[in-house]
């Protein structure tokens, strides 16, 4: 029987409570020892809700414990550099939420710290996005076996009504204090999905727009400038010669989330809602629903993958700290291009 992994959780926000924490609790070879949030009221509620015996409001109290093998850093990106470095220095394995940092400089510091820690036997991993998970392996299979042939263009779109109300106060995803200036909406999350399918990026041309430029900072509070855009379109030239367009527009009603893949021989359309994948090849009359073969259905398994890594098992395909660096470099290129009105080349690795 594998050794039980004793886990501490630093930062139990919405996604941690929705997915990561309850999934860790279900694993028989994991013991969630302690959970940490900044405020006593919130961390007590989380501990009681999920049956965690101990809680803390200072992350250092978690990292100093001898009965902790690994930690989940579940905070927003502003804390990731401090938290990951401190956890690795304390000899803990680290699972970190994406985004890895606020910028590529921080991301590279985390990556370098991770390399040193891994040389000493510690394991590091990023939590993959939960979007387009079920069909991930199937899409990779279709692309590898030439379903669309030579790849031409990809359109990835996410349209939500979150920012559509101009009278509403500033929302969490619009708050630059939480996510920094280069991480608007889900532009980086979608790149987590797209990059493994289509490879490395060469050049980005981007457009940003904010429809409501001022909002109340808090309900009834003073009005402030909105510093993150309501809409971003990033057109990315890939090393393969394909063009990938990533659009986030969170100020529209009745939108959808999908990825459209167009090639010389065929087309694939992946609708996020319901994980519906449609396809057709040259000569077909129209798109038809494609069934994901059972052996290619990918179920969310971030938590079990991390535990296996900590236990010394080999795990394939999990996002690495280097992937996090590349994501930050992409986000910076999108930001810089939108601000300066020009194409931006990406660093090479």
Question: pLDDT tens digits for 201-245?
Answer: 999 999 999 999 999 999 999 999 999 999 999 999 999 899 999
Q: Which residue stretches of the chain are H helix?
A: 14-15, 21-26, 40-50, 59-63, 80-89, 104-119, 136-144, 176-179, 187-198, 302-310, 321-340
Query: Do 238 and 199 touch, CB atoms closer than 8 A?
Result: yes
pTM of model > 0.75: yes
With cut-offs at 50, 70 and 90, classify the pLDDT of residue 105: very high
User: What is residue 169's DSSP assignment?
Assistant: P
Considering only CA atoms, which of 274, 137, 144, 249 is closest in space to residue 193?
A: 137
Question: pLDDT tens digits for 250-270?
Answer: 999 999 999 999 999 999 999
Class of the 136-298 domain?
alpha beta
User: What is residue 312's DSSP assignment?
Assistant: T
Q: What is the share, in percent, of the chain residues with pLDDT greater than 90?
A: 90
Residue 272: predicted pLDDT: 95
Cβ neighbours of residue 328 closer than 8 Å, sequence gap 6 or more: 99, 100, 101, 103, 104, 106, 107, 182, 188
Name the CATH superfamily housing domain 5-129+301-318: NAD(P)-binding Rossmann-like Domain (3.40.50.720)
Alpha-carbon gap, residue 244 to 45, rounded angstroms: 43
Q: Is residue 1 scored above 50 in pLDDT? A: no
The residue count for the chain: 349
Ordered by start, the domain boundaries in the chain are: 5-129+301-318, 136-298
Answer whether 5-129+301-318 and 136-298 agree in fold: no
Cβ neighbours of residue 255 closer than 8 Å, sequence gap 6 or more: 157, 158, 159, 160, 161, 249
């Amino acid at each position: 029987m594998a050794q039980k992994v004793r886990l501490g959780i630093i930062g139990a926000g919405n996604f941690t409570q929705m997915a990561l924490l309850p999934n860790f609790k279900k694993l028989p070879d994991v013991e969630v020892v302690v959970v940490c949030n900044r405020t006593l009221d919130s961390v007590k509620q989380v501990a009681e809700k999920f049956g965690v015996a101990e809680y803390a409001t200072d992350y250092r109290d978690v990292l100093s414990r001898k009965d902790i093998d690994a930690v989940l850093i579940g905070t927003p990106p502003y804390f990731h550099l401090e938290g990951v470095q401190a956890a690795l220095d304390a000899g803990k394995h680290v699972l970190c939420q994406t985004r890895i940092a606020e910028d590529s400089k921080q991301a590279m510091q985390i990556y370098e710290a991770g390399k040193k820690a891994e040389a000493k036997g510690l394991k590091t991993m990023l939590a993959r996005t939960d979007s387009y998970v079920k069909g991930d392996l199937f899409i990779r299979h279709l692309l590898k076996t030439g379903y669309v042939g030579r790849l031409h263009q990809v359109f990835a779109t996410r349209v939500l009504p979150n920012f559509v109300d101009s009278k509403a106060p500033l929302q969490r995803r619009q708050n630059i204090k939480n996510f920094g200036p280069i991480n608007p909406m889900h532009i980086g999350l979608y790149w987590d999905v797209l990059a493994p399918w289509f490879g490395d990026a060469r050049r980005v041309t981007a457009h940003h727009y904010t429809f409501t430029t001022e909002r109340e900072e808090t309900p009834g509070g003073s009005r402030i400038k909105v510093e993150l855009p309501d809409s971003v379109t990033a057109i990315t030239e890939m090393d393969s010669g394909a063009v990938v367009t990533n659009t986030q527009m969170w100020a529209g009603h009745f939108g959808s989330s999908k990825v459209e893949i167009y090639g010389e021989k065929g087309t694939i359309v992946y609708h996020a809602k319901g994980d519906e994948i449609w396809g057709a090849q040259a000569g077909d009359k129209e798109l038809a629903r494609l069934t994901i073969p059972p052996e290619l259905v990918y179920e969310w398994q971030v938590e079990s993958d991390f535990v296996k890594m900590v236990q010394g098992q080999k795990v394939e395909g999990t996002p690495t700290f280097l992937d996090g660096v590349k994501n930050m470099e992409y986000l910076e290129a999108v930001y810089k291009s939108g601000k300066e009105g020009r194409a931006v080349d990406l660093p090479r690795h």
